Structure 1
């Protein structure tokens, strides 16, 4: 095998469509190289020979110098993958070599691989290999928009150039495959998980048989400043975040999720109404789940609510929402479906943390498993915790207050309100759930993706979630500072970003870039002419072959003539409510149901208006082409009506809900003021 064949074979092993949107770690072992070579009848020595020869066109001498030269203008050469990945694979391979080497000795390992004397001392230009790691990050995240996987060039330790390959070796492939079962045994959840210290303790406890001694030792390390430990935990949390709750235990695949407490407070009545909801990243079944307690004493109906949430659990025997106070929160609760496929757990804990549920689309408050930073929260605590909890609350919190709740809590439990936690030092060791996160995380939440990867439709962009313990860390989009308005750590993309634009998102501490990711907003998308997915007829029967009959595959429907869209059905008319359809030019207005829409202009806004208030909804076909434009209108009655609904009634018309539409709404109001 020549160099480029080796390079592309290694690259294809890591960067592939099924890794879209997931984090890629370039963990390379001698076994992996051997397996790749065996498929073509060559061995490990062939890989080393190819590395020494280098790719075609390289004229310089020296391992690292060749690697740098291979990068020059590589994207203009129509290559499938960056041509330096095989060199990076070699560097990672060297970091994982076992033998009689000093613990922090890297270069003797690398020289041993290449058949040289295992002497110390850096290879010429090795300190510039960081340029290749950064280029790989740019290619995977920006150029490919995460469609083949997301790679982050993370370095650990003080020697950055050595720390880059070492960071790829913290978990073996075998350990990665074992993580889902460990997550399930440790009652971890990809939606709401505790701080890194608590995760480390849980994995060390439940992964003692599946994880290497080196990994377990790092997890048991108590110094948060240990860079190896922090990098390992970051990797593990990436895996946890991507986990859909599926795990294989005893050769049986099961789906795991959490039972989460939800709370509605009535401070006047001194009552807390607590229910249980299931949360899981796995898709809920179409039919309701019937869940049983482990002793089969009771059964509960679980119905999907939205996204990752179920409705509150219903008691099958009583036919009403089950009161969560009936369960033992100290010991935890486990429920399973009759076939054993589904399992939901309420982890045991003497302290429960609650935050506002509006960010999850839920009423009241919802339980989380990590101490929020710089925002209010509530606590439910068992009386065994009160002494230390009260001391911590008075010394380390703002607005720490015990609420007088006399109805709705289990016996021996108390409820507290906290304006903000300033420190976790007094309490995190005893109760890890009250620990701040020490790592910085940047995540994309929601939005509608086009296929897999980080391409999103412009009308439904994701929100950005920054989890950072320091207020000095700020979020930027293409060098524009973003404002976190709704709740701490949650940002929305600027409304004025044009479609078909690549966005580079960076979390910065001053000038230092801590985390980065990229995404691409698209507006125009044509459906494929060929359908590779299975097609079904109107009754749901699978079609074999294309016989020209009506068929459906996902959102693509063929063989059916659709009527033109009727805007009169866009908003339901209730009672005496009217719908005002407004175009982008003065005078373009139609009031339904009294009028029908003309054919010479298209509505931009559909405004429902009753006796007191109204609501504006965007109904244009293209945001960029929906800007208001001034023109002369001969029909003065229509022009006055256009101005009245946009300007005179502006205080009783609620603006559109989506933030990226509000600037357009204000533009229409300004233009209407001038009419």
Structure 2
């Protein structure tokens, strides 16, 4: 195999469609290189020789100089970056065993190349960071994460050596073992604890699956240890991508977490607690039936939103499961029936302290349990009496507005409820109760929005929100060099509403001039559906149609061989009781009031506004945001023009605007134009 074939084969192993939107690490071993070359009859020595030879026509001498030469203008003709083969070699050197000093890198590299294992920097190796940075740009910006997301993170003080070392912190075997460890440790990919708590859980439940080197790093207690921080960041990436599936005694199970939800009645001094299932896995279409371990009780629920189910309901009497009836110090576990085709298991982890936040962010009433103490925002704590002495001291010294709530009904025996406006420090309590530790790693994450196909492509009308976790006041977030304002002190950011479609966005968290974290995404406004001839079709039973172009079939939104009825806007906002739906177009007079009037055929609605005896709601129903701007024109029908102005301007205080910021701006434009009519 020549160098380019080796390069592309290694690249295709790591960067592929299955890794879309997920973190990629170039963990390369001699075994992997041997497996990749086996199909072509090439071995490990062939790979080393190809690396030394380089690309055909290479003009420069020296390994690192040849590697730099491959970066020049490669995007014009090649599918993969042509320097990945060299980066694979550098990672190989970081992981080989032998009679080397612990932190000795260059003798390892020279040994791989068949050279004398002398110390000292390899010629031009300090310039290799350009290749790692270009790989990050290619995967995140050029490809928008469609083949995976690579971040050029370094560990240690010597940046150029730290880049390949950062790829070796987890072996492939360890990475494959993580789902089972996550399940045993009761970790939730939706709401997970701070890094210190995760490290303790992995040490406890991963002794048999993780290397001694990995366990030693996790046991390290210094938050400043860069290797430990990089390892935990990698593990959290894997946790966030985990859908709850894991092997248990040779059988596949889907694991999730039971989360407490609470409605507080301050007047009655009562807490009403329920339990919901939390999972990243897709819920079944039918209700999920779950049993206690002793099969004494059964409960059901269904998917509601954001990976959360409806409250668990008892099958015997149809009443909600009361959350205070169980011992929170011991936890709780419910499972699906052994006879069910898909095995489910949900756990309420045992803990003497439980953290709650306002449920508004997840569209839920009351407060919802989370696994991490939020920074600079209000929270609630349910604590067992064994924790009260230290908890009270910490609350009074390290929190703002810390107070005990007087709850006389609804909590388990021996438990108390507290409220605080914000936690300012975790120093007094994080060692004793790791669930109250702040995150130590800075993370920049995309949440929500509607993705288009794979990777970080989103529809412009439904962009994601940006969350900065573990940040401080000194860290600012930028979008294409434009400073973003946080919606609140919790590190929640929204993208500017005026960003044009088909624009690649580079999101950066900066501290002064230093870039701490970055990610990228693409907002798509004009999207063409794939042709029916290229799309995989499924029949009405969900079976793949092969070579059948005549029968009725479906592929996503594409339907073939079926006469579909016209879309009925009344199903978009169903009319209830005396409620009316006002369909409003972009020109004065374009208004239809249902159910009294039928929808017009000569204009398209932009807004569907529900209006009853109480407050109304505006919902965008246009086909294209850019083509939905209000357009002032003359209207001969004065009655319709008056109705158009009335619903948009005179009734503006009675109608709730849409939630998304870009739609709010459009709604305000309509109101201003209606005022002028």
Distance in 2 of aligned mates of 1:338 and 1:586? 59
Secondary structure, in 3 states, of the residue corresponding to 1:379?
strand
Distance in 2 of aligned mates of 1:246 and 1:345? 14
Q: 1:598 to 1:348 in 2, by over 3 A?
A: closer
Residues 420-459 of structure 1: CA deviation (Å, up to 9, x unaligned) = 1111111110110110000011111122212221111222
Deviates more, 1:292-301 or 1:181-190: 292-301
Partner of 1:344: 346
Give the Å deviation of 1:292.
2.3
Partner of 2:237: 238
Partner of 2:66: 66
Question: Structure 2 length normalisation: TM-score?
Answer: 0.96
Partner of 1:283: 282
Kept in 1: contact 2:536–2:545 (CA 8 A)? no
Task: Please point out which of 470, 473, 485 is paired with 1:471.
Answer: 473
Distance in 2 of aligned mates of 1:320 and 1:487? 38
Find out whether 1:485 has 2:484 as its counterpart: no
Distance in 2 of aligned mates of 1:465 and 1:168? 25
Counterpart mapping for 1:619-630 below 5 A: 619-630=621-632
Secondary structure, in 3 states, of the residue corresponding to 2:608?
strand
Q: 1:373 to 1:317 in 2, by over 3 A?
A: same
Give the Å deviation of 1:590.
3.3
Secondary structure, in 3 states, of the residue corresponding to 1:257?
strand
Kept in 2: contact 1:436–1:469 (CA 8 A)? no
Kept in 1: contact 2:537–2:553 (CA 8 A)? no
Kept in 2: contact 1:373–1:469 (CA 8 A)? no
Partner of 2:267: 268
Counterpart mapping for 1:107-126 below 5 A: 107-126=106-125
Secondary structure, in 3 states, of the residue corresponding to 1:414?
strand
Give the Å deviation of 1:487.
6.6
Give the Å deviation of 1:310.
1.4
Find out whether 1:43 has 2:46 as its counterpart: no
Secondary structure, in 3 states, of the residue corresponding to 2:523?
strand
Task: Please point out which of 449, 454, 457 is paired with 2:456.
Answer: 454
Secondary structure, in 3 states, of the residue corresponding to 1:262?
strand
Secondary structure, in 3 states, of the residue corresponding to 1:416?
strand
Find out whether 1:536 has 2:535 as its counterpart: no
Secondary structure, in 3 states, of the residue corresponding to 2:487?
coil
Kept in 1: contact 2:471–2:491 (CA 8 A)? no
Q: 1:409 to 1:7 in 2, by over 3 A?
A: same
Task: Please point out which of 631, 634, 653 is paired with 1:632.
Answer: 634
Give the Å deviation of 1:69.
0.9
Distance in 2 of aligned mates of 1:79 and 1:308? 40
Q: 1:285 to 1:580 in 2, by over 3 A?
A: closer
Residues 450-507 of structure 1: CA deviation (Å, up to 9, x unaligned) = 2221111222222222212412222222222222226712222222222211111112
Give the Å deviation of 1:576.
4.3
Distance in 2 of aligned mates of 1:305 and 1:612? 26
Deviates more, 1:624-633 or 1:572-581: 572-581
Task: Please point out which of 667, 670, 673 is paired with 1:668.
Answer: 670
Secondary structure, in 3 states, of the residue corresponding to 1:150?
coil
Secondary structure, in 3 states, of the residue corresponding to 2:89?
helix
Distance in 1 of aligned mates of 2:615 and 2:331? 48
Query: Where in structure 2 are there 5+ consecutive unaligned residues?
Result: none
Kept in 2: contact 1:536–1:553 (CA 8 A)? no
Counterpart mapping for 1:509-520 below 5 A: 509-520=511-522
Kept in 2: contact 1:475–1:508 (CA 8 A)? yes
Kept in 1: contact 2:129–2:163 (CA 8 A)? yes
Secondary structure, in 3 states, of the residue corresponding to 1:222?
coil
Residues 387-421 of structure 1: CA deviation (Å, up to 9, x unaligned) = 11111111111111011111111111111111111
Partner of 2:9: 9
Task: Please point out which of 412, 423, 426 is paired with 2:428.
Answer: 426
Q: 1:576 to 1:130 in 2, by over 3 A?
A: same
Distance in 2 of aligned mates of 1:365 and 1:189? 18
Counterpart mapping for 1:174-185 below 5 A: 174-185=173-184
Distance in 2 of aligned mates of 1:347 and 1:642? 55
Distance in 2 of aligned mates of 1:665 and 1:613? 16
Distance in 2 of aligned mates of 1:410 and 1:594? 54
State the number of aligned residues: 673
Residues 12-60 of structure 1: CA deviation (Å, up to 9, x unaligned) = 0100000111100001111111111122111111111111111123211
Q: 1:403 to 1:171 in 2, by over 3 A?
A: same
Counterpart mapping for 1:326-475 below 5 A: 326-339=325-338, 341-475=343-477
Task: Please point out which of 502, 506, 509 is paired with 1:507.
Answer: 509
Give the Å deviation of 1:545.
4.4
Q: 1:569 to 1:355 in 2, by over 3 A?
A: closer
Kept in 2: contact 1:477–1:503 (CA 8 A)? yes
Give the Å deviation of 1:240.
0.6
Kept in 1: contact 2:179–2:246 (CA 8 A)? yes
Secondary structure, in 3 states, of the residue corresponding to 2:333?
strand
Deviates more, 1:324-333 or 1:560-569: 560-569
Distance in 2 of aligned mates of 1:268 and 1:511? 51
Counterpart mapping for 1:578-617 below 5 A: 578-611=580-613, 613-617=615-619
Distance in 2 of aligned mates of 1:546 and 1:24? 38
Q: 1:660 to 1:486 in 2, by over 3 A?
A: farther
Partner of 1:27: 27
